Chains A and B, each alone.
Chain A
Amino acid sequence: MRVDQYLPGFAPHDAIGNHTLTARRILRDAGYESDIWAEHILSPLETEARHYTQDAPGGDRVLLFHTSTSSAMSQWIKDRAVRGERVITDYHNITPGRYFLRWEPHIADAMEDARTELAMLAPFAQFSMADSAYNEAELRELGYVNTMVCNLLVDLEEYHRVPDKALLDRLPRRGMRWLFVGRVAPNKCQHDVVGAFAVYRRLYDPYARLTLVGGATSPRYRLAIERLAGELELGDSLEMVGSVSDAELLAYWAAADVFVCMSEHEGFCVPVLEAMELGVPVVAYNSTAVPETLAGAGVLVDDKDPLTVANAVHDMDREALSAAGRKRAEHFSLQNTSKAFLEAVESFLA
Chain B
Amino acid sequence: MANDLYSPDDLYVAKVRLSLSRLGVPGPDLEGALGGLRAAARFDVDVPTASPRREVQLVKTGVKRVSGWYLRYLADQLSGFGGALVNWADALAAKTQILQGEVDEVAVRLQALETRVARLEAGRQPGGDEREDAAQ
Contacts and interface: CB of A to CB of B under 8 A. Distances in A.
A232 B13 CA distance: 10
A4 interface: no
Nearest to B135: A203
Contacts of B16: 195, 198-199, 232, 306
Interface in B12-57: 12-13, 15-17, 19-20, 23, 25-27, 29, 32
B136 to A, nearest CB: 9
A334 B40 CA distance: 52
Nearest to A192: B20
B19 A99 contact: no
Nearest to A104: B32
Contacts of A228: 19-20, 23
B121 interface: no
Interface residues of A, number: 23
B9 interface: yes
Interface in A266-288: none
B134 interface: yes
Contacts, number: 49
Contacts of A195: 16-17, 19-20
Nearest to B10: A307
B131 interface: yes
A-side interface mostly: helix
Contacts of B23: 191, 224, 228
A102 interface: yes
A191 B134 contact: no
A313 to B, nearest CB: 13
A103 B16 CA distance: 21
Contact of B15 (A224, A232, A305, A311): A232
B115 to A, nearest CB: 9
Contacts of A220: 32
Contact of B20 (A101, A103, A306): A306
Interface in A69-127: 98-99, 101-103
Contacts of B13: 199, 202-203, 306-307
Q: Which 9 interchain pairs have the tightest Cβ spacing?
A: A195-B20, A191-B23, A195-B16, A102-B29, A306-B16, A102-B26, A202-B12, A198-B16, A101-B26
20 contacts: A98-B25, A102-B26, A102-B32, A103-B32, A191-B20, A195-B19, A199-B16, A202-B13, A203-B13, A203-B135, A220-B32, A224-B23, A231-B19, A264-B25, A305-B17, A306-B13, A306-B16, A306-B20, A307-B135, A311-B131
Given A102-B27, A203-B135, 14 more contacts: A98-B26, A99-B25, A102-B26, A191-B23, A195-B16, A195-B17, A195-B20, A198-B16, A199-B13, A202-B12, A203-B9, A228-B23, A231-B15, A305-B17
